[in-house]
Each structure stands twice: as structure tokens, then as C-alpha cells.
Structure 1
């Protein structure tokens, strides 16, 4: 049997810094897009609630669905930020 070429090799400090920097930039870009979507949805929710008598069951369901989506997205960003923070802290302790 031949040995696998997929052996794990730890990243050196420079490679870890580059990888974490790339993850940070990606997270920042993703969060900026999410923030823009949140601003749009908040404006839409505010406009809809100005006339509560005109909120149909479908509109109410849409608001509920989007509210759940926003909450889930915020939790995902919180987790990604925490993971990045832990990785950066571990790297700082190594340096």
C-alpha cells in the first residue's frame, strides 16, 4: 500500500496570519452585505407598521419569516466572530 499524500502539515505563523486575515476580510464583507439587507428590511418593516390595519396575514407571515431569518443570521455572525476571535487569541499566545 502506498502512503497517502493527504498528510496534515500544520501551518506556520505567517500562513496562519494570512489565513485568519483572509477570513476576517471575508467575514467583514459578508457582514457589510447583511447590514445593508437589515437596513432595507428595517425600513420596510417600519413602513408596513405605519398602517397596521393593512397588514394581511401573508404580510404578517412574511415579517415573521424575515424576523426569524435576521435572528439566525445574527447568531451565525456571532459564532463566526467568536471562532475568529478564538483563532486569533490562540495564535497570539503562540507568538
Structure 2
């Protein structure tokens, strides 16, 4: 088969499955990082005196990073879902 030929449905499904597995693995790692950060935030909350300006700035930075990561995962999941739906809706 030539590289210029479009992939068939079986190849598309295999690629989609691979992308989903990779996304799932990435999300599992992200989930572990979130659990660690939640524990860290809880510990900081129990010791309000340790919330210095640099600590507060770090919390703000991590919070923004978490927000961006969640949006990125949501977008990737939506993209895979749309691709999967289009593949299954083909006549």
C-alpha cells in the first residue's frame, strides 16, 4: 500500500485505539500528580502561617497549570470522541 493512500477504517480504528491508550496513560500520570498536589495543598491549609508570598505565588502557578491541563485533556477527549463518532457513523 502506498503512503499516499488514505488509511482504511481498520487502520483508523487502530490509530484511534493507540491514541486513546496514550491519552489514558497520560491522564493516569496526571491524576497521580493531582493527588500529590491535593495532599500538599491540604498540608499547607493546616499550617496557614507557612503561606508566604512565594508559597501563594506557587499555589497560583500550580492552580493555573492544573486548569490548563484539565482543559487540554477535555479537548483531547472531545477530539477522540468526535473522530470515533465520525468513524462509526460512516455508511
Q: Deviations over 1:21-78 (max 9, x none)?
A: 0000000000000000000000000000111122110011000000000000000000
* Counterpart in the other structure of 1:23: 19
Match of 1:38 among 34, 38, 49: 34
Q: Which runs of 5+ in 2 are unaligned?
A: none
* Counterpart in the other structure of 1:81: 77
With 17-26 and 47-56 compared, the bigger mean Cα shift is at 47-56
* Counterpart in the other structure of 1:4: none
d(CA) in 1 for partners of 2:4, 2:37 = 44
Q: How many residues are matched? A: 90
Look at both structures and tell me which one has the larger radius of gyration over its CA atoms: 1
- Structure 1 runs (4+) deviating above 2 angstroms are none
* Counterpart in the other structure of 2:51: 55
Q: CA deviation at 1:8?
A: 4.0
* Counterpart in the other structure of 1:93: 89
Q: Which runs of 5+ in 1 are unaligned?
A: 1-6
CA RMSD of aligned residues (A): 1.5
Q: CA deviation at 1:9?
A: 2.4
* Counterpart in the other structure of 2:60: 64
